[in-house]
Amino acid sequence: MSTLARTRLVEQPQSSPPPTTANLTPSGAEEDKDETVALRDSPDRLQRDRAPLSRRLRSALLVASPSSPRTTVRKKDFGFLPIPRNRRHEPGMKPEEQFVFTWRLNLLFAGSATVSVMNLYYIQPMLVKIARDFGVDNDVVSNVPTLSQGGYGCGILFISTLGDLVRRRQLVLLLMFLTTTLSIGLALSTNVHMLEGLSFMVGMLTVTPQLCIPWTADLAPSNRRARAMSITFSGLITGLVLGRVLAGVISDFASWRDVYWMAVGLQGLTTLILWLGLPDTPDKNIGMTYLGVLVSMAKYLVTYPTLTQACLMAMCSSAVFAGFWVDLTFLLTAEPYHYSSLTIGLLGLLGLFGALLAPQWGRLVDKIVPWLAQFLGLLTNLIAMSVALGAADRSVGAVCVAIILYDCGQQLFQVASSYRIAGIDPQARARLNGCYLLFVFIGQTSGTAILTKIYNRHGWRPTGATTVAFVGAGIILLFFRGPYETRWIGWRGGYKKLWKKAKLTDLSPNAITEIVHEKKRDRRPDEEVVMGNVASAAESTTLRG
């Protein structure tokens, strides 16, 4: 076929454009279309050979791809709230490339986690004052933190998993607005039942930290992912410490209701800052329904041994964490201490040691096998609870040592566990994190209920013994399966490899890890061949039209 005839055939679709090209060029891409036609119509493709490879490949895909991405920039949240110009996502660019992960963004995630998670811990140092205000005993008022943790668990299961399904910027802003509004109701509560109901709802919506942690894993470079995640985790730890401290100080000098008014102001200000700073990263387009997302979570628990192992260990450690702090409030207000809410709240500042050391824990996890970091964290927790069992009811020094050690150990364990889980499947990080946190919720709820009942009926020593048993169970679960084991139980690989950092986070046959993705990328044909084949197919389609 002559060059002239070939050119006429290419120009013929201008009068009656075939569906193979008319529907494939997205709106607003006329410049790309002209460039593509020029490359396609060149007899010897000299222009194509001279163009940069990335541009040639993109031009060919614009012609041949039946599902080209939309070029419309999303400018508003919820259809009416403008998105700041520098926070809008440009179609065709990867979020991690457009929104470079900076320390400022890392601190924004950490700060939002701090303010949000404080909602769950305001209540703990105020239990005695609220009981006196409403005229109820300790057993009744202890239902408030239990229901708050119960709502938190429901939010983890039904809300945090949406991070894999919808745009996270809009979801976070909506959650922060709702918790701000409901905190007004907490401040105006007229009886303990109203306080219980609203605490459950606020707890259910307080899942912003659980959206920010996998979001951090998505945007942070792989070589410092653990460090970035540890900083976001430090925001969570800081929130639970500051929540207790601020609640203790304000309720001692004013009223427990003023604590919730402070929460309204903090959350409102944080919502404004998040609107200005959160990137509008697109949804992951996983092609699943909401019901499918929930079903996939159950499937993950029976597919990935590393996930299931981490979940069971987290349940044990979280039971101790939640129950220990609630019972510590009752212990420090009774004999021989008789501490005020202010003093109890100030003791909570000791928990900041774990948050301040968070970047160091992240560096440690980046350098050693995460399994070993999990063990070191649980071992530190065991030492802390042993100290509390032996002397917390007689010496405030023992209480301080137990608080510092346990917060440090818990922080290290959480960072290591989340790091292992984040590497299983990058497209399912919110769901994997949701599975993990669901067991954290189960542990916190059951731990608060069980340890509070034991303390009210039998005192501190049996309570301390129960905490030691919980941590010991977590260590036993860890040793059921080594870091390189491919089966559900076993120790293939031995102990000699504990000091060598492995890139794989889960070696089970069904795991989807970074190293597997890299191997798949290595097996792909050269981009030049792909571009040439796509361009040839596009040209053939046009000629046949």
Domain boundaries, the chain: 107-499
Kind of pairing between the strands at 81-82 and 76-77? antiparallel
Cα(361)–Cα(409) distance, integer angstroms: 10
Strands (E), 444-545: none
CB atoms near residue 46 (< 10 Å)? 10
Yes or no: say if 296 and 307 are a contact pair by the CB < 8 Å rule: no
CB atoms near residue 74 (< 10 Å)? 16
Q: What is the DSSP letter of 166?
A: S
pLDDT in tens, 166-215: 888 899 999 999 999 999 999 998 888 899 999 999 999 998 988 888 88
pLDDT of 395 reads 80
How far, in Å, are 39, 157, 397, 503 from residue 317 at the CA level? 62, 19, 23, 26
Burial-class residue 482 by CB neighbours within 10 Å (0-12, 13-18, 19+): buried
Q: Give just the sign of the alpha carbon dihedral 379, 380, 386, 389.
A: negative
Cα(432)–Cα(510) distance, integer angstroms: 14
pLDDT below 50 — which residues of the chain?
Answer: 1-70, 504-505, 507, 509, 512-545
Cα(220)–Cα(203) distance, integer angstroms: 28
Cα(242)–Cα(139) distance, integer angstroms: 25
pLDDT of 523 reads 39
DSSP letters along 285-339, please? -----HHHHHHHHHHHHTT-HHHHHHHHHHHHHHHHHHHHHHHHHHHHHSTTT--
Q: Give just the sign of the alpha carbon dihedral 86, 91, 96, 98.
A: negative
CATH of domain 107-499: 1.20.1250.20
HSE-CB for 15 with a 13 A CA cutoff: 4
Cα(416)–Cα(396) distance, integer angstroms: 31
pLDDT of 106 reads 87
How far, in Å, are 218, 450, 484 from residue 422 at the CA level? 9, 31, 17
pLDDT of 411 reads 83
Helix ranges (DSSP H) in 24-136: 30-41, 46-50, 53-64, 95-98, 103-117, 127-134
Helix H or strand E encompassing 354: helix 352-356
Helix H or strand E encompassing 369: none
pLDDT in tens, 451-499: 888 888 888 888 888 889 999 999 999 988 877 777 788 777 666 666 6
Cα(349)–Cα(420) distance, integer angstroms: 29
